A and B are shown apart, each in its own frame.
Chain A
């Protein structure tokens, strides 16, 4: 995406508009070149490539059959060999809240793991797909297997990150409720955890203890505009739910495609890179893989210096809101782990360098001793006869 191209502001968001000016203002100046690189060749940023689709699709599952629209698809090409795909989906107006949660929870499954997850079908342009992964890779994207990192690939799903949770997508959602609908703490818990229907097709909530739900609410819900608008963050889902109307409702929806999406994406990227760095450390044999160790030290240093910032948003609301995301994604503990890795790698490098110096010193000492011995003026009596009484002077030549 190019912030200077104002025509893009309302091209990809299903009738919503994302203000590029507001996007620029919302982030700290040092974040802008990371999130919004000036052109497609700036490899230091998260380069976004978007395709407008607006195609009608159908979703069939045991407890929900519904049409939906794929508005557009993004591919982000990011530093440290990370790619990210983002799919924008609009659900029909009037769909029940349980259905919305169930859709999000089910559609995010790229590869079914449990038996009950295998009964989903996605229909698009006269084609039917049993797996969401097949739908995305056959219908929406060009063939991309050849560009994926084969070494990282899992046998079941190319491009898979072995250090990432599972083959489920992260969900960002916006839900506008009717004005008369109360939004309870139970609702917010279910939204956060994407609790749709259970195995019997009944709406469910993934916790029974009200104290637990209360604690969860305190940790995960941003309720500055409580009773009207809430934001919730979890490991699987970032959501905005609101009863706002008119221009405010429009504005909140646009923010979920704009400022909030980009902040969330940045934190998501941080998490992926930190996990990748921790994973690569576990794969390295520090004694043998010297160049890999140096590469990892370089990557950690570069990521810490150029990309990872604790202050991302320039506005107080953004800072408050995404403090919860930062905590949910465990960015600080992950970074501490990676910093410890860096110090461990440096210590190891020092030790190895020390060992190398010791070996060198030993070799030089041997040479010095030997050359010292042979450097002395020697007179060898046994050779006396052979050389007719001439003295033999030996002065060894050492190269080093």
Chain B
């Protein structure tokens, strides 16, 4: 199927990328502390 559309500009685009992971139960609150220390805000 022909989809060769060139010069087809978008006006504005943003994307978000999500990925999941598993955390070690005992380390979760330490991870929270680490994030806050690294300028992540709640």
A98 within 8 A of B: yes
Known: A49-B36, A208-B1. A81 touches B19 (CB 8 A): no
Give the dominant DSSP class at B's interface. Answer: mixed
Is the interface on chain A under 10, 10 to 19, 20 to 34, or 35 or more residues?
A: 35 or more
CB pair B22–A170 under 8 Å, yes or no, is: no
User: Complex formed: what's the CA distance from A40 to B13 in Å?
Assistant: 32
Give a binary string over A1-17; 1 marks a CB under 8 Å from any B CB, 0 the rest: 11000001000001000
* Contact partner, B14, options A8, A149, A152, A253, Cβ 8 Å: A253
Contacts of B4 in A (CB 8 A): 202-203
Min Cβ gap B14→A in Å is 5
Is the interface on chain B under 10, 10 to 19, 20 to 34, or 35 or more residues?
A: 35 or more
Closest to A90 in B: B14
User: Complex formed: what's the CA distance from A150 to B24 in Å?
Assistant: 7
Contacts of A89 in B (CB 8 A): 14-17
Min Cβ gap A107→B in Å is 7
A103 within 8 A of B: yes
CB pair B10–A172 under 8 Å, yes or no, is: no
CB pair B38–A47 under 8 Å, yes or no, is: no
Contacts of B19 in A (CB 8 A): 84-85, 110, 167-170
A88 within 8 A of B: yes
CB pair B13–A83 under 8 Å, yes or no, is: no
Contacts of B22 in A (CB 8 A): 81-83, 148-149, 152, 159, 161, 276
User: Which B residues from 20 to 41 make CB contacts under 8 A with A?
Assistant: 20-25, 27-28, 30-32, 34-41
CB pair A1–B21 under 8 Å, yes or no, is: no
Interface centre among A147, A178, A205, A256 (most CB of B within 10 A): A147
* Contact partner, A205, options B3, B20, B28, B34, Cβ 8 Å: B3
Contacts of B11 in A (CB 8 A): 93-94, 176-178
* Contact partner, A148, options B5, B18, B24, B36, Cβ 8 Å: B24
* Residues of B near any A CB (own CB < 8 A): 1, 3-25, 27-28, 30-32, 34-42
